[in-house]
Structure 1
Amino acid sequence: MTDNTLLIENIRTASRLMVRELGFMNPTLAATEYSASAVHTLLEAERLGAVTAAQLVNELGLEKSSVSRMLGKLIKAGELTEVVSVDDARVKHLQLTEQGKASVVKINAYGKMRVADALAHLDTAKQKAVAEGISAYARALKSCRDGSQANPQNPVIISSGYQPGMIGRISEMHARFYSRHANFGSFFESKVAAGLAEFTGRLGHENNRIWLAVQNGKIVGSVAIDGQDLGNNEAHLRWFILDDGCRGGGIGRKLLSEAVNFCDQQKFSATQLWTFSGLDAARRLYESFGFTLTKEWDGDQWGSRVMEQQFTRTAG
């Protein structure tokens, strides 16, 4: 048996064991009354804020008919509700109900407990090896399904400054993401594009900078520092966004590192950013860089009513 054959067999054996131990052989999953596909649907609804049936077909790799039946059951059970798109009445977004949110809290608590219990049997070095290895393997499996190449052949490069098509691409990423998460429509996309176009004309100023994450010539992430619009020697962190396929890979942290380091170099007294509640992963990332929630209010400046938030990072 060659080394490569042995490696493949070891991975297959480990995969079978994981499937059994995590309960995927059972008719229900994660201490719920729902199937694995239903549990994953609830988790995707939480992650995306709002999701369509077509998105679930793509994300979960299931047949359209299977997804339709499953969604009907979850809606009937009170876990999901349908919301008509503000831009196209033919499109229905699915969002978690209060019951659904409570179910996801229980699912996440159960999942975290299982992981923590397993990690307790490993030393620190092996815990890190598991986290890195299983993440890389999961991304490789996904690459096989969507036809993309593995990350090593397609590195994401962080660059600064204007690139052709930047305004349209960044606006598109914002529109797609926030349509799902907050049901924002054309008003929001137009406002993003207009603000970014105005800012691009000021990129020559020493206090303004934009960073782009680029993969295979395509912009997959961005962040900008506007050092002029707030005054008082304060910086405005703007247009932080990632393409769906790049989340969870550390690209967002690299972009924010560039932005925060620039603010420190320019000696701004503070850096402000505006967002809204419910984007928990982004909030944890902001807080890891020293941002704290300083203001919160009910607003609709983006076209839909949300709980808007202001985060502040002070110098020193």
Structure 2
Amino acid sequence: MVQSKNADPTALIFRTHRPGDMGFITYRHGVIYAQDHGLPANFERDVSRISADFLDTYDPIMERCWIAERDDKFIGSVALVKHKELENTALIRLLIVEREARGLGLGTKLVQQCIDFAREAGYKRIRLWTLTQLVSARRLYKNAGFQIIRTEPQESWGGMPKEEWELNF
């Protein structure tokens, strides 16, 4: 994305992914979720698989990754991908907001990017999953109109219960 000469250099920019972004997103997930939530190294491994799958099967008509930047610095990201098993269903993946950008509504803006794109692409619903301890993320999804459709135990990341959420259009 190109800014004009008169553009505010501190303004928030949303752009699509480019080479190197998916590796950086994986790295930031590994660091932030370990520090903030005590998630183990296998969480980063799983995020790297999600990132690799996105790159391997990327469909620019039906899928997108947004990178949020301020002052040319990464401050967050999210991806919307096709659900591999459910027709007309998208998945929100890889949502992360850097600490210095929290409380500014960036998470809401990133999720709204997904909702708007999903509607334009013709999806009938969006699903996502999160962990019950991620209170801010859960609040963000609820405020966007998502509803919990399933809660289940999971052992992979320290036994925190996993929730699946859905938004229908």
TM normalised by structure 2 equals 0.87
5+ residue gaps, structure 2, are 1-7
- Report matched runs for 1:58-97 at 5 Å: none
Aligned match of 2:55: 200
Give me the identity figure in percent.
26
Segment drifting more, 172-181 vs 255-264: 172-181
> For residues 281 and 182 of structure 1, what CA distance do their matches in structure 2 show?
12
Higher radius of gyration, 1 or 2: 1
Tell me how far 1:215 sits from its aligned partner.
2.1
Aligned match of 1:305: 159
Contact 1:229–1:236 under 8 Å retained in 2: no
Match of 2:134 among 258, 273, 279: 279
SS of the counterpart of 1:184? coil
Matched, 1:188 2:43: yes
Contact 2:68–2:74 under 8 Å retained in 1: yes
More strand by share: 2
How many residues are treated as equivalent by the alignment? 162
- Report matched runs for 1:1-20 at 5 Å: none
Aligned match of 1:243: 98
Contact 2:23–2:51 under 8 Å retained in 1: no
Cα deviation 1:187-242 (Å, max 9, x = unaligned): 11122112202212333342111111012222221111111423321111100111
Aligned match of 1:127: none
RCO higher in 1 or 2 (8 Å CA, sep ≥ 6)? Answer: 2
Match of 2:21 among 152, 160, 166: 166
Partner amino acid for 1:191? Answer: D
Matched, 1:314 2:168: yes
Partner amino acid for 1:306? Answer: M
In angstroms, what is the RMSD of aligned CA positions?
Answer: 1.7
Aligned match of 1:227: 82
> For residues 275 and 298 of structure 1, what CA distance do their matches in structure 2 show?
12
SS of the counterpart of 2:44? helix
More helix by share: 1
> For residues 37 and 49 of structure 2, what CA distance do their matches in structure 1 show?
20
TM normalised by structure 1 equals 0.48
Aligned match of 1:254: 109
Tell me how far 1:251 sits from its aligned partner.
1.4
